[in-house]
Amino acid sequence: MNGIPPTDDLIVIAGAGGFIGGALVRYFHARGCRRVRAVDKKPLAEWFQRLPEAECLCLDLSLEVDCRRAVDGAAEVYNLAADMGGMGFIERFRIECMRNILINTHLIEAACAAGVERYFFASSACVYNTNLQSDPAVGGLKEADAFPAMAERGYGWEKLMSEMFCEEYWAERGLKTAVARLHNVYGPHGSWEGGREKAPAAICRKVIEAVRAHTGRIVIWGDGTATRSFTYIDDCVSGIDRIVHCDALIATPVNLGSRELVSIDGLVSKVENIAGVKLAREYDLSAPRGVAGRNSDNTLIRKMLDWEPSTPLDTGLAATYEWIEKQFESSQTERNRAGTVPQRA
């Protein structure tokens, strides 16, 4: 079965104050779901997006009692709640990343006890064996490549363990679970400054800063040769819906990512083309850089859903750049009014 839940069912989106969670709230509302409960630990004023029609709750989902409140009466639960960010965050704050396991542990138990019909867990490509990602010319990582396990320290291991929870709750207790291994999701309404932003947003911001300040230069983390695929937010939320409502993928981790591989240098070039500039490049070899190469093998998702993420990187980057440019200008205006000077990492 593929498709959204009935419009009178309550769906709960955990981590709704974040980038992907907020987009998923809007996606389901636009598809006709009128009972959406959005949950996040952050105060409402700090949510990335907030839909007035949704029931918005501020709860700490690392606590059992808050998880029980969150899932009460729900037919479906989508767990996108996590303390995370780009490579600059997950390499420096591994304890915080590992503590995310409390969220899934308590939330999936509460969902099962409440009689929830379907439960989704947002996993990550960080679960994959790092020994298979030592070459920028990496082939696509298949779902089986998570084992033998050698995930990224901290964040990757937490995600892999939480996947196992989802598999066992289906095997032992009959809870229909779904797991998507997300590959570098980007787009408008995501983090673009402050240390949690991922490469596309960080590079867009740096190019905008260089253009505004007329520096003619950009600092790139690493040597620019590392490769990644980046998944546009619209493809991500559509893919989550499809995966959750495909009974053939119950308790089966599946890649949700683009196959369009690009180097970090290539990513910078694409953003330069959007901005109409050419910048001198400086490479910070002391900065976090992650694995040498990572790409998504989409054989399984194409076979099971006859679908895969398809938004070209150039298209998604153009929309992302335009949105970040507006945020940057608004932020500069506010700082000028307050008489403050922005600090950059």
Q: How many CB atoms lie within 10 A of CB 7?
A: 11
Q: Which residues of 318-336 are buried (b: 16+ CB within 10 A; e: fewer)?
A: bbbbebbbebbeeeeeeee
Task: Measure the CA–CA gap between 118 and 3, rounded to whole angstroms.
Answer: 13
- Token couple for 158: 């937490």
Which residues lie below 8 Å from residue 207, measured CB to CB, with a gap of 6+? 218, 268, 271, 272, 275, 277, 279, 321
Vertex 99, ends 298 and 65: CA angle to 5°? Answer: 105
Task: Measure the CA–CA gap between 153 and 313, rounded to whole angstroms.
Answer: 28
Catalytic residues: 155
Vertex 202, ends 265 and 87: CA angle to 5°? Answer: 85
